[in-house]
């Protein structure tokens, strides 16, 4: 039996699935994520790991600075 799902419900379902997938991806250790990303890529796992570690450092630095920036903007 085919059931018609309202657009809003379909979007909410898709969002929930993507959020779960992102949470699983973000829970991976950096090295494991780099090895998985290297499959089928022209980059090595070492190159990807280095890039991921830089992104993580930048994100952590941004989080430390974010409250000060948002307070200054207010």
Q: Which residues of the chain have pLDDT under 50?
A: 69-74
Specify the DSSP class assigned to residue 42: S
pLDDT score for 39: 96
Distances, alpha carbon 30 to alpha carbons 2, 16, 17, 53, 62, in Å: 42, 24, 22, 7, 19
- Count of C-beta atoms within a 10 Å radius of residue 28: 14
In the chain, what are the domain boundaries? Answer: 7-73
Q: pTM higher than 0.75 for the full model?
A: no
- Count of C-beta atoms within a 10 Å radius of residue 47: 14
pLDDT score for 51: 95
| Measured distance CA(46)–CA(13) in Å, rounded | 36
pLDDT score for 27: 92
């Amino acid at each position: 039996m085919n059931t018609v799902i309202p657009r809003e419900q379909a979007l909410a379902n898709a969002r929930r699935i993507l959020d779960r997938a992102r949470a699983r991806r973000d829970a991976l250790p950096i090295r494991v994520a780099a090895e998985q990303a290297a499959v089928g890529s022209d980059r090595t796992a070492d190159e990807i790991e280095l890039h991921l570690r830089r992104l993580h450092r930048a994100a952590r630095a941004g989080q430390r600075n974010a409250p000060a920036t948002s307070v200054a903007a207010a």
